[in-house]
Structure 1
Amino acid sequence: MSVLVSIIVPCYNQAHYLSEALQSVSDQTYTNWECIVVNDGSPDNTEQITKQWLEKDARFKYVYQENGGLSSARNFGIKNSLGVFILPLDADDILHPDYLKKTVPVLNKNSDLGIVSCYRYFFVGNKLNIIKECKASGSNYVDILFENKLVCSSIYRRTCWDEVGGYDETMKKGFEDWEFWLNVTKRGWKFQIVEAFLFYYRKAKKSMLVDTVNIHSEASMEYIFRKHKELYTKHFDNTAKVLFYYIKTHRLGKMKIKNSLEYKIGKGVMKPFRIVYKLLSQANKKE
Structure 2
Amino acid sequence: MEKQVSIIIPCYNDAKYIEQAVASALGQTNVKVEVIVVDDGSNEETKAVLKKLEPKISKLITQTNQGQSSARNTGVETASADFLLMLDSDDYFEASFCEKALKEFQKSSEVKMVTCQANLINEDGSQQLFNPEGGTVVNFMFKNCALGTSMFRKVDWEACGGYDESMRKGFEDWEFFIRLLKNGGSATVIPEALYTYRKRSDSTTNRANKVRFDILKYIYLKHKDIYIENYEATISNFLRQNEMLQVSVKNKDITVDAKIGKLLLSPLRFFKKLFK
TM interval, shorter chain, is 0.7 to 0.9
Query: For residue 115 of structure 1, what is the amino acid of its counterpart?
Result: M
Q: Secondary structure at the match of 1:147?
A: coil
- Give the Cα separation in 1 of the matches to 2:236 and 2:104: 35
Instruction: Give the alignment partner of residue 166 of structure 1, picking from 159, 162, 180.
Output: 162
Query: For residue 240 of structure 2, what is the amino acid of its counterpart?
Result: Y
203-212 or 148-157: bigger deviation? 203-212
Contact 1:121–1:130 (8 Å) recurs in 2:
no
Who is 1:212 aligned against? Answer: 208
Q: Secondary structure at the match of 1:51?
A: helix
Who is 2:236 aligned against? Answer: 241
Deviations 1:158-209 (A, max 9, x none): 0110001100111111111111111011111322111211111111122110
Give the TM-score normalised by the residue count of structure 2. Answer: 0.85
Instruction: Give the alignment partner of residue 203 of structure 1, picking from 199, 206, 216.
Output: 199
Alignment of 1:105 onto 2:100: no
Question: Which stretches of structure 1, 4 residues or longer, exceed 4 Å deviation after superposition?
Answer: none
- Give the Cα separation in 2 of the matches to 1:130 and 1:3: 37
Give the TM-score normalised by the residue count of structure 1. Answer: 0.82
Contact 2:135–2:145 (8 Å) recurs in 1:
no
Backbone CA RMSD of aligned residues: 2.1
* Aligned residue runs from structure 1 range 64-83, under 5 A: 64-83=62-81
- Give the Cα separation in 2 of the matches to 1:166 and 1:73: 11
Contact 2:116–2:194 (8 Å) recurs in 1:
yes
Instruction: Give the alignment partner of residue 187 of structure 1, picking from 164, 183, 195.
Output: 183
* Aligned residue runs from structure 1 range 1-287, under 5 A: 4-55=4-55, 57=56, 59-124=57-122, 131-213=127-209, 215-258=210-253
Q: Secondary structure at the match of 2:100?
A: helix
- Give the Cα separation in 2 of the matches to 1:123 and 1:252: 30
- Give the Cα separation in 2 of the matches to 1:32 and 1:134: 28
- Give the Cα separation in 2 of the matches to 1:20 and 1:244: 44
Query: For residue 237 of structure 1, what is the amino acid of its counterpart?
Result: E
Contact 2:134–2:186 (8 Å) recurs in 1:
no
* Unaligned stretches of 5+ residues in structure 1: 261-287
Which structure has the larger Rg?
Answer: 1
Who is 1:281 aligned against? Answer: none
* Unaligned stretches of 5+ residues in structure 2: 256-276
- Give the Cα separation in 2 of the matches to 1:241 and 1:110: 31
- Give the Cα separation in 1 of the matches to 2:202 and 2:245: 24
- Give the Cα separation in 2 of the matches to 1:79 and 1:140: 26
Q: Cα gap change, 1:134/1:66 in structure 2, threshold over 3 Å: closer, same or farther?
A: same
Q: Secondary structure at the match of 2:88?
A: coil
Q: Cα gap change, 1:196/1:222 in structure 2, threshold over 3 Å: closer, same or farther?
A: same
Deviations 1:230-272 (A, max 9, x none): 1101111221221232233234324433469xxxxxxxxxxxx
- Give the Cα separation in 2 of the matches to 1:138 and 1:12: 28
Query: For residue 53 of structure 2, what is the amino acid of its counterpart?
Result: W
Identity of aligned residues (%): 31
- Give the Cα separation in 1 of the matches to 2:249 and 2:107: 51
Q: Secondary structure at the match of 2:252?
A: helix
Give the total of aligned pairs.
255
